[in-house]
Amino acid sequence: MTGGPLDLEALVAQALAEDGAEQDVTTQAVVPPEILARGALLAKQELVVSGLEATRTAFRMLDAAVSFASRAAEGDRVSAGTVLAHLSGRARGLLAAERVALNFVQRLSGVATLTRRFVEAVAGTRARIRDTRKTTPLLRALEKRAVAAGGGVPHRAGLTSGILLKDNHIRLVRSAGEATRRVVASAAGRPVEVEVERIDQIPEVLAAGATMVLLDNFTPEDVGSAVRLIGGRVPVEVSGGVTLATVRSYAEAGPDYIAVGALTHSAPAVDICFEIEPA
């Protein structure tokens, strides 16, 4: 699953309205409405591409006749100096949409680029990199697509698309086993992932019917012990404080998945510029 329902045009329209793109007083004062221009989106660094669809939508919502010719595809790794797209159309529309268009592609390509770094860091192990629900409000579907573009495996899109019993659920019930039994009883056969904070919780959640175990804030050494205890009976996921410096050691401990919240909550925007000139 790569994200929940997405009305891209409505989302982009909100972003353009936030920026006041329809009333760009600077551009309207300087550029006559009949002036045509052409431009290019240019990567200023090595990156993994994501978000060009949203960028195209931003330009076309201000000029339906704009020409937008992509020169890269979702998930492509490109070097600095690569042209991502060529554009032509009314200069006013190109200028007014520029910031919002760049915000989308810079942000989403940043997520894809960071994800690819994590994926490459665990290459050769069984571990796959997953995202979390720590996403930018209203951008979850796009950010999860960006994770997929980077080679990651998007986790559940929202609270209705998967069962994940967390530590706070367990604290309210005061028993990992009892909380697991309750959710399994109501799961109607759906997979049930259970988060544990200690190794001694693992036997009780497995006995209660957990179909995946999430090891939260374990050390790589403890992950290895937990993986051996579980013995392949259910898939194992790791989360909590995993960084590029530590992800390899976690992967080598043998989990099936490693969840990294930083993919979406801390990915730096990449450097992409929009160069424009008279047509």
Domains and CATH numbers, the chain: 8-116+267-278 (3.90.1170.20), 119-265 (3.20.20.70)
The pLDDT score that the predictor gives to residue 94 is: 97
Does 221 qualify as catalytic in the annotation? no
Rounded CA separation 271/232 (Å)? 43
The pLDDT score that the predictor gives to residue 5 is: 59
Does 131 qualify as catalytic in the annotation? no
Average pLDDT score over the chain: 96
Does 195 qualify as catalytic in the annotation? yes
The pLDDT score that the predictor gives to residue 1 is: 42
The pLDDT score that the predictor gives to residue 61 is: 97
Does 204 qualify as catalytic in the annotation? no
Does 140 qualify as catalytic in the annotation? no
With a cut of 50, which residues of the chain have pLDDT below it? 1
List 44, 126, 166, 233, catalytic entry: 166
